[in-house]
A and B are shown apart, each in its own frame.
Chain A
Amino acid sequence: MYGKGILKGLRVTWNRFWNTYIEDISWLLQGKKRYYTKEGVEHRSSKNTRGIFTVQYPEEQLIAPEEFRYVPFLVYDEGAEGKKEVRCTSCGICAKVCPPQCIWIVRTNDPNTGRPIPQPAEFYIDMDICMNCGFCAEYCPFDAIKMDHEFDIASYDRNVYNLEKLLKPASYYAEIRPLNYAREEEARKAKEAAKAAKAEASASA
C-alpha cells in the first residue's frame, strides 16, 4: 500500500510525542519534579531519556562534568591573613606549550641582585586568542594553572586577563574539580613526606 512507509514513520513521531507526557505523569506519580531540578536534567541526559530532551537554559543548565574546560585561571593558596600565595613560578612552560601563543609572562627580578625570583610580575592571557585546549593546565609542573568551568565570558571589549583577573583561590579549584584536587593534594603530600624523610635521613646521618 502506498503511504505505508510514511505511516510507519509517523508512528515513531507519534510515540515520541506521547513519551513526553507519559514521562511527565510517571514522574508526577512518583512525586518527583522533572523540570528545573538537577535530577530532571540528569535524567534527560542519561540513556533512559524519553520524550522531551532539551534543557531550558538558563533556568536549567546541563551538569558540567569535572573535566569540562573553558579558559585557564591561576591558582593561589590562601596563606595566613588572606595572603595570596601564588603557585606560579613563572617557569614559562605554559607560554611555551600554548598553541596559539596567547600567554605572556613577565618574570620578577630581585631588585637587589637582579636575579629572577620564582614569581610572576605580570601574567596575561588573551582570552580572545585562547583555543581552550588545556595544554597549559596539563603540562604545568606546579598545578598553578587550571581550566575554569565558567563559560559565559562574552563581552563588548577584548578579553585580555591580567594577573588580578586570573587569580582564583585553591578552594574554588577544589570546588569545581574535587577529584583532581584530591589526587594532586595526595601526590603533593606524598612528595613533601618523602622530602621530609630524606631531609631527616641526611640530618641524622
Chain B
Amino acid sequence: MTAPASTTTVDLIARFPNSVSADARPGYAGFIVNKESLLEVATAIRDEFGYDLLTAVTGADYIAENKMEVVYHAYKTTGGPGLVFRVQVERADPVEVPSLVGLWPGVDFQEREAWDLYGIKFTGHPDLRRILMWEGFEGHPLRKDWKEAFFEEEAKPFKSRWPDGQHSYVEFKNPFRDNLNFPKDFDPEKYQPENEKDLYSSLERFSTQTEDGLKTDQIVVNMGPHHPSTHGVLRVAVKLEGETIVGLKPVMGYLHRNHDKIGERNTFLQNIPYTDRLDYFNSMSNNFGYVTTIEKLMNIPVAERAEYIRVIMAELSRIQNHFIFIGMLINDLGSMYTPSLYAFEERELILDIFEAVSGARMMCNYFRFGGVARDVPDDVMQKIKDLVYDRIAAKTDEMERFLNENEVLVGRLKGVRMINAEDAIRYSVTGPVLRAAGVPYDIRRADPYSIYDRFDFDVAVRYNGDMYDNYLIRFDEIRQSLRILEQALKQIPEGPINSQKPQYQVRVPAGEAYGRVESPKGELAYYVVSNGKPNPYRYHVRPPSFVNLTAIEHICKGSKIQDFVALLAMLDIVMGELDR
C-alpha cells in the first residue's frame, strides 16, 4: 500500500536537477524548490508523481538565517507517506512567492492566512486579503519580530511568577490600559470599513450574464456573524440572483486568538490544554494529533496500554461528534430540538466517561507525551463496555429509524449536489465529506498512526456526493468506530500508561515534524519545528474545518439560498478551530 519515500526522493531531484535540492538541515526532510520554478515543480508533483492532495501550506520565519519559508505538504489520495517541499526566500516585508491556487484551489484560505500572519505575498492569488485579522491591524503577527499587546516575555514560564510573584494585572502596567498599534495613515476614529468594498468586489467575479437579456439585479445578503445557523460567529456574504447563489465569501476571524503564536510562547507540554480549545467537541482527537506530532519529534515509544486508551477515547469522541452533527444538521434544517436532544443524550453519556477519566467533560487535557495522564479505572472501563456493547449501537439504529426515511428530510437532502470526488481533492477537502464523494481516504488506513493498523474496520465510503450521502456516512462511521472500540476493548492489555517519567519540561530535539490524525471532521495536522529549546520554534495547526470551508464557495455556487445552511452544516465546521 505504501510506496517507499526514498524512490521519489531520488526522482524529484533527477527530474529537476537545477531547481530542486534536498533539505540537508538535521531533523528536516523534503526538498527545497527554487521560487522561480515552484509552479513547474508543483505541477510535476501533482501530475507526474501523483501527490494529488495538498493538505497544508504554511509559513515559517527563520529570523536568525534571515529567511522566510513556505512549507507544502502533499499526499496521495491512494495512501502512503507524504512529500514535503518548501520555498525559501530572503526575509523582507512583504516577501513574494508564487501562488499555487491555480493548481490546488484548496490552498486559497491557507495562502491568505500565510499572507495575513506572515506577510508572504502569493503572486497570482486572485483575492489576497487578510483573513483572520482585521484591516486595521499593524504588522504580521507570526513574524518573530512582532510582539503582541501586553507582551511579557519571549517564552513561558515568565520570570515574574516565581520566586517574587506578587500578583499584578498585566493591563495595569500600561497607563492607558491599551496597547494597540495601527498601520501608518490609519485613524480608528475615521475608520470606514474599506474591506467591505474589497469583499463585495471579490464577489463580483462570479457575476453572471442572463442569457435572455433581461435586466436583473443581484443582491448581496449577509448571513452572520450572529446567525443561529452559522455554527458560531461566521459571517458569509452571499450574492444572489433570485434565489440562486452566484457568489459567496465567508468572513472569519471573530474568534481569532492566534493559537499559533500562543503555542510558540508555551512550552511543549503547556500546549496540550490549548489544543483542547481548538475543536472543542473533540478535545481527545486534538490531544491525539498534538502528542503524536511531538512524539515523532522526540522519537519516544508510547506505552502499549496507553495506545489502546488513546484509540478508545478518540473513537468515542468521533461517535459523539457525529451524533451532534446529525442533531445539529436536523436543527439547521428547521426541525428544532427533538432530534438534536436525542443526539445530545448519547453524547452526555460519552462525556460522562471523559469526565471520569480526565476530569473534564470537554476540555479533557488527557494525553501526555508517551502515554496518557491517568489510567482508566475498572468501573469506568465497565461503563465504556456497557455503552459500546449495549447502548450506542441500539441508539444509532433508533436514530436511523427516527430520521432516515422521513420524507421531509430525504426531500431536503437527496440529490442536492455537494461536491464530486475530483473537486473535493482539488479543494483539499478531507474527512467524511471527501469520503461521501467516493474517495475512500481515511488517514487511519491511508497513513496509519498509533495502532490503527491492528484493527479490522472498513473505511466508510459513499459515492453520490450529495447531501443525503454526506448525512448517511456519519452513521456508517459511527458503526465503524464501534467496531474499532469492540476490538480495542477486547485487546487492551494491562500495564503502565506512560513510557516516560512524568516531566513538566520535556526535551525535544531540533527538527520538524508534521503529524496528522483523522479527526471526526477531517485531517487534523500539526506542523511543529523545534530548535532544541523548551518551546516550539514554529507551531502550526492545520484545522480540518478551515481547509474544508475553502470549498464552500464551490459547493454552494448554483445552489438555492435555502440549501446554504444545510450545506454549511454538512461541512461540520466549528469556529474554535476555524478561527484559532
Residues of A that sit less than 8 Å from B by CB: 2-6, 8-9, 11-13, 16, 45-47, 49, 53, 64-69, 90, 92-93, 95-99, 101, 103-107, 116, 122, 124, 126, 131-135, 138-139, 147, 160, 179
Q: A5 — which chain B residues lie within 8 A by C-beta?
A: 404-407, 409-410
CB contacts under 8 Å to A, within B368-413, are 373-374, 377, 380, 383, 386-387, 390-391, 398, 401-410
Query: Are B502 and A138 within 8 A (Cβ)?
Result: yes
Q: B404 — which chain A residues lie within 8 A by C-beta?
A: 5
Query: Are A12 and B401 within 8 A (Cβ)?
Result: yes
B162 adjacent to chain A (CB < 8 Å)? yes
Q: A107 — which chain B residues lie within 8 A by C-beta?
A: 162-164
B203 adjacent to chain A (CB < 8 Å)? no
Stretch at the interface among B115-123, B344-352, B550-558: B344-352
Residues of B that sit less than 8 Å from A by CB: 156-158, 160-167, 266-267, 269-274, 338, 342, 345, 348-349, 352, 355-360, 363, 365, 373-374, 377, 380, 383, 386-387, 390-391, 398, 401-410, 502, 504-505
Give me 25 A-to-B residue pairs in the complex whose CB atoms sit less than 8 angstroms apart, sorted by A's number: A5-B410, A6-B407, A8-B402, A9-B405, A9-B406, A12-B402, A16-B342, A47-B349, A47-B383, A53-B348, A65-B380, A67-B355, A68-B360, A90-B163, A92-B163, A95-B157, A99-B156, A99-B266, A99-B270, A101-B157, A101-B161, A106-B165, A107-B162, A124-B165, A134-B365
Query: Are A103 and B504 within 8 A (Cβ)?
Result: no
In the assembled complex, the CB of B50 is this many whole angstroms from the nearest CB of chain A, namely 41
Cα distance, A101 to B156, chains bound together (Å): 8
In the assembled complex, the CB of B153 is this many whole angstroms from the nearest CB of chain A, namely 10
Query: Are B167 and A6 within 8 A (Cβ)?
Result: no
Cα distance, A71 to B402, chains bound together (Å): 41
Query: Are A67 and B359 within 8 A (Cβ)?
Result: yes
- Counting from the closest, the 5 A-B pairs by CB-CB distance are A5-B405, A104-B165, A133-B273, A92-B162, A124-B167
Chain A minimum-CB-distance residue to B388: A47
Q: A64 — which chain B residues lie within 8 A by C-beta?
A: 355
Q: B383 — which chain A residues lie within 8 A by C-beta?
A: 47
- Provided the pairs A5-B410, A6-B407 are in contact, do residues A116 and B163 lie with their beta carbons within 8 angstroms? yes
**Which of A6, A95, A132, A134 has a CB less than 8 Å from the CB of B162?**
A95
**Which of A8, A9, A65 has a CB less than 8 Å from the CB of B355?**
A65
In the assembled complex, the CB of B317 is this many whole angstroms from the nearest CB of chain A, namely 17
Query: Are B356 and A104 within 8 A (Cβ)?
Result: no
Q: B408 — which chain A residues lie within 8 A by C-beta?
A: 6
Chain B minimum-CB-distance residue to A109: B163
Cα distance, A104 to B168, chains bound together (Å): 9
Cα distance, A96 to B390, chains bound together (Å): 45
Query: Are A96 and B157 within 8 A (Cβ)?
Result: yes
Query: Are B356 and A106 within 8 A (Cβ)?
Result: no
- Provided the pairs A99-B270, A101-B157 are in contact, do residues A69 and B391 lie with their beta carbons within 8 angstroms? no
Cα distance, A109 to B18, chains bound together (Å): 66
Cα distance, A105 to B160, chains bound together (Å): 9
Q: A68-B360, A133-B273 are in contact. List 18 more A-B contacts (CB 8 A).
A: A9-B402, A12-B401, A64-B355, A65-B352, A68-B355, A90-B163, A92-B163, A95-B162, A96-B162, A97-B269, A104-B160, A104-B161, A105-B162, A105-B163, A116-B163, A133-B272, A133-B363, A135-B365
